Amino acid sequence: MSSIPKLLRLSERTAILPVIHGSGDCAIAVRRWMLEHQFDCVAIPLPESFRQPLESAVSQLPSPSIIIQPPSNRFHADDDPEYPFWKKDWGETPWSPSDKGHNETDGPDPSAIDDDDAVDESDLPPCSYVPVDPCQPVIMAIRAALGEHLPRAYIDLETSPFQPQSAVMPDSYALKHVTVQRFAAAMLPSIPRPPDEQTRTRLQYMAFRLHQLEQRHHRILFVCNVLHWPWVCEAYLAPPETPPEPDAVEPAIAYDVAPRTLTFLFGELPFITGLYERARAALEDDENLSIDGVKELLLASRDAYRLELGNRARPITPMLLSQCSKYIRNLALIERRFTPDLYTIVTAAKQVLGDAFAMHVVEAACRYLDLPDSDQQTVSLGIDECRFPDGEVRDLVSRLPGTSVSWKSVQLQKRPDRADTKRWQSTWVPTGQCSYPPEDVQIESLRARVFDRAQTIIGTDLVRTEKFTTSVKDGIDIRDTLRHWYDKQIYVRVLPPAQAQLDACVMLFDSPADPRDYPWRTTWFSEHSEESTMAFFASDFRQQMVGPGIALAVYGGALFLFPPIIIPDIWDDRRLDFVDSLEERLIAAACIYARGRHVALFSTLPPGAGWRRLARRLKKNLVHVPLRGFSSAEVQQMRHVHVLNGTHVRSYAADFIRKA
């Protein structure tokens, strides 16, 4: 015990380790202490009634569970004349018709009970529980003690109902850089004295039990809530002569927890808790998982996002992930935390990467390990409440309360379920289709920028140089000046005004395109003078319903004619049957209907010899605009086209269309 700092020693036989419940970093600190120091007993700040179900549940980890102890219904109310008579004799819950049989000895007749005496479930005292969470420091101490076959002493007082104590506490990530004693000493001035009589009585009882343990053990480790640490030390110096009387309590029962509600059980995110368990099973380093786990969460969300959306997914580049990580860091620092909470992570993901990606972040963060089914009863958890297998809902208080938690909401566009998708598909009217106006504005903006870029390229091809005389014209041509340096002459660039007329643009997002991936081929005409005549091939929108009368497709390629003109549907035009591919049909149609002699081609690669011969055959010239000159995320978003089943759908389409 001499190697343990005096600040964390109650005596020569007892060391006290103050922790923050629900913290993975504190759980690692407990494990490190138990490996670095030799102990022959571990004192647990829980009552003896939790021993059997808790240790049985800990042995089943990594399968999580919850140990629930209902409040005792044994009351001493004989001296209260206003207390309902049936509560004195039969406990808290009145007789109900669901009870087996009824006679005068079973309880009162329900008709004889006054309405004012009826029990309101919301007035019942809450159940207390212990979360069997791998990231709980106390659970880590029990787990390590079971593995080392060390005795465990449950030294807390039996209380019913239980009154928890919690507070806002610093981020335990600081334990990566400071020792436990420094961390605890820094918190010492801000730890308040216990406000309620029950907590003070419990601390006196724990101090009394520690004195008893010292008579049988020489090296005791007491894992204690940091809020109780100074007051346990105070009670230890002046222990009571007789221990406080325990309350009569009900048996504690172990339950499994519904996987979707594990967020309300764990102190850390279920995903990060799963990373701790995987590292434990594989004997890997888990010292920095509280931060590295956030990066793993973003990568796992990216994989699920790509798997769901396929070619409709927005490119999640390393640069975007880096920006998201910096945003998460900044939001966490604003809240004066080192490690972010789920709200911070989801908010940053929504702002940087869109609603669809943020939905996958939420789902991945709430996903724990894939575990086999158990035959134990399962409960569903909520915010400080629990739904039991019989449907009863009761309030809960934790026996291992961590830092105070505030719940916040984030508005995200959810994905439709399968039943809604089938219903929307069955009610689709094939004859009524129109576009979504905000997307029309975006794609027309892209078309205008491609036109401008093509005009610049055409003008660059006509540039010439001449010797400097009286004006630098359009700038000094450094290349020709250096080339003719021997004659000491400066050359300037001359850009003649571009006379080319551009009214046709072909955008190829996926080339070469597989016709099986793009079965929807049509021609749309403009609704007003600011829109182009547009012919395109895209994926089947009927396979991706996002709302009632709202479907989603992905462009493979498109032809724009601006100013708009009326043309036959190019996919039924027999004059274009001489081409072999979807891309060539768009290029041929652009060359036929373009009034100028140039056609802008927006694609990843420059046109090959075959496409250039096709353009020359139709007396046109292809001007290649590289796709890499534009933001890949912007181009990917432009590829998404929402198809509406009639103009009336535009009034509510924004409520269902998610931002990619």
Residue type, 424: W
Q: Distance of CA 327 to CAs 224, 355, 456, Å?
A: 35, 16, 37
Are 478 and 607 part of one and the same domain?
Answer: no
Segments of 24-102 assigned E as strands: 41-44, 65-69
Instruction: Please give the pLDDT value at position 416.
Output: 80
Question: By percentage, how much of the chain surpasses pLDDT 90?
Answer: 45
| Whether 173 contacts 291, CB under 8 Å | yes
Q: What is the pLDDT of residues 89-116, one digit of tens each?
A: 333 333 333 333 334 334 444 444 444 4
Per-residue confidence (pLDDT) for residue 95, from 0 to 100 = 33
Q: Is the pLDDT confidence value at 80 over 60?
A: no
- Say what percent of the chain tops pLDDT 70: 90
Asked whether the beta carbons of 307 and 301 are under 8 A apart, the reply is no
More confident residue, 3 or 284: 284
Return the pLDDT at 1.
63
Instruction: Choose the final residue of a domain: 350, 372, 398.
Output: 398
Cα(14)–Cα(612) distance, integer angstroms: 86
Domains of the chain: total: 3
Residue 314 pLDDT exceeds 80 = no
- In order, the DSSP letters of 208-276 are HHHHHHHTT-SSEEEEEETTTHHHHHHHHHS--SSPPPPPP-PPPEEEEE-GGGGGGT-SS-HHHHHHH
What was the pLDDT predicted at 75? 44
Q: Worst-scoring range by mean pLDDT, 131-135, 240-244, 351-355?
A: 240-244
Q: Calculate mean pLDDT across residues 482-503.
A: 77
On the question of a cis peptide bond just before residue 563, with omega within 30 degrees of 0, the verdict is yes
Q: Cβ neighbours of residue 334 under 8 Å, at least 6 residues apart?
A: none
Residue 86 pLDDT > 90? no
Please report whether residue 565 resides in a domain: yes
In a domain, residue 163? The reply is no
Tell the residue number behind the tokens 């439709």, with chain if given: 416
CA distance 565 to 592: 13
CA distance 566 to 593: 10
pLDDT of residue 413 exceeding 70, the answer is: yes
Domain endpoint, select from 375, 398, 421: 398
Residue 255's CB: how many other CB atoms inside 10 A?
Answer: 23
Residues 6+ apart with CB under 8 A from 156: 44, 45, 46, 47, 202, 205, 206, 399
| Shared-domain flag, residues 477 and 513 | no
**Phi, psi of 155, rounded to the nearest 5 degrees:** -110, 5
Identity at 192, one-letter amino acid code: P
Q: Are 509 and 557 in contact (CB under 8 A)?
A: yes
Same domain flag for 493 and 503: no
* Range with lowest mean pLDDT among 118-132, 268-282, 414-428: 118-132
Only one residue has tokens 């939790």, namely 50
Does residue 107 lie within any of the structural domains?
A: no
Contact call for residues 203 and 194 (beta carbons, < 8 A) = yes
Rounded average pLDDT over 522-546: 90
537 and 586 in one domain?
Answer: yes
* Res. 496 pLDDT band, cuts 50 70 90: low
Residues 342 and 444 in one domain: no
Phi (first) and psi of residue 438, to 5 degrees: -60, -35
Residue 20 Cα distances to 227, 385, 555, angstroms = 8, 22, 53
Please tell me whether residues 476 and 559 are part of one structural domain.
Answer: no
Q: Do the domain assignments include residue 220?
A: no
Q: Is the pLDDT of residue 498 over 90?
A: no
Section 149-173 average pLDDT? 88
Q: CB–CB of 15/37 below 8 Å?
A: yes
Distance, in Å, from the CA atom of 640 to the CA atom of 539, rounded to the nearest integer, reads: 10
Asked if residue 617 and residue 535 are part of one domain, the reply reads yes
Which of 477, 497, 517 lies at the terminal end of a domain, its last residue? Answer: 497
Q: 587 in a domain, yes or no?
A: yes
Of 15-29, 181-195, 463-477, the range with the lowest mean pLDDT is: 463-477
Region for 259 from its dihedrals, namely left if φ exceeds 0, alpha if ψ lies in -120 to 50, beta otherwise: alpha
Residue 415 domain-assigned (yes or no): no
Pair (509, 640) in one structural domain: yes
Contact assessment for residue 397 and residue 126, using Cβ atoms and an 8 Å cutoff: yes
Q: How confident is the model at residue 296 (pLDDT cuts 50, 70, 90)?
A: very high
Confidence class for position 477, pLDDT limits 50, 70, 90: confident
Tokens encoding 657: 């269309």
Comparing C-alpha atoms, which of 599, 127, 646 is closest to residue 429? Answer: 646
Which residues are registered as beta bridge partners of 560?
505, 534
pLDDT digits (tens, 9 = 90+) for 568-610: 999 998 899 899 899 999 999 999 999 888 899 999 988 999 9
Q: Which domain holds residue 274?
A: 257-398
| Together in a domain, 439 and 475 | no
Mean pLDDT estimate for the chain:
85
115 or 379, which is more confident: 379
Number of continuous H segments (helices) and E segments (strands) in the chain: 18, 21
Q: 452 with 557, same domain?
A: yes
Q: Is residue 72 part of a domain?
A: no
> What does the pLDDT read at residue 88?
36
Are both 489 and 531 inside the same structural domain?
A: no
Q: How many whole angstroms separate alpha carbon 411 and alpha carbon 433?
A: 29
**How do strand 253-257 and strand 378-382 relate by DSSP bridges?**
parallel
Claim to verify: residue 352 and residue 376 sit in the same structural domain: yes
The rounded distance, in Å, linking the Cα atoms of 304 and 130 is 33
pLDDT at residue 89 in the model: 37
Angle, CA 217 vertex, CA 215 and CA 218 arms, to 5°: 105
Residue 150 located in a structural domain? no
pLDDT tens profile 543-569: 888 889 999 899 999 999 999 999 999
Query: Residue 248 and residue 129: Cα distance in Å, rounded?
Result: 16
> Running DSSP on this structure, what letter comes out for residue 376?
S
By C-alpha distance, which of 189, 184, 141, 193 is closest to 35? 141
- Helix (H) or strand (E) holding 309, with range, is helix 289-309
